[in-house]
Amino acid sequence: DEWCEFFQQHQFLIGISIDGPAELHDRYRYDKKGQPTFEAVHAGLKLLKKHKVEFNALVVVNRHNGNSGKRVYTYLRDNGVRFLQFIPIVERLGVGTHPETVTDLTIDDQSELSNDHARLVSSRSVLPEQYGDFMIDVFQEWVRRDVGTVFVQLFDQALSAWMGHEPSLCIFRRQCGRALAIEHNGDLYSCDHFVEPE
């Protein structure tokens, strides 16, 4: 409550990472002890709403929740989320903090290896068509009843570009590298997508 009062008083905008209902969120969102985080995240969301703190939901779309676009969207909307960012997770095999190799993949994952995209990315990564279908499902629900009350970053950016304005989101801009990231230890990167040791 004290943090929320501080955030509200100083007009902070908070990003809350939530990937849908508990069974979708908890698949990859766990704490350092390996425990699921949904209950804590949901409690934080309720506190932000209680104190009228502005917040955005940062939703990672992965292989597990990637077939549940409408379900994820309606769950968040029905819980009072009004600003949403859907971020596709794409991890190359053998790269990152928890790297996966082909031998780490399950039989089901290996059966997808005939797909060129699946052969290059981790089993957590959303596949291209899967992400497209996810966003179509979100759009179909949003356009029917939520235009003007719920804001989806991808749709706002597409509209901006369609109207001839330079989008603010880096992946839609003519030139990337204008969104600096500074890590806790002072390391500086030209983009948060490049926060890797190399």
Catalytic one of 19, 26, 104, 192:
192
6-35: b or e for each residue (b if 16 or more CB lie within 10 Å)?
A: ebbeeeeeeebbbbbbbebbbbbbeeeeee
**N-terminal to C-terminal alpha carbon distance within the chain:** 40
Of the candidates 159, 181, 154, 157, the one whose C-alpha atom is nearest the C-alpha of residue 168 is: 157
Catalytic: 192?
Answer: yes
Give the separation between CA 67 and CA 135, rounded to whole angstroms: 10
Q: Which residues contact 63 (CB under 8 A, 6 or more apart)?
A: 123, 124, 125, 126, 127, 130
Which residues have a catalytic role annotated?
192
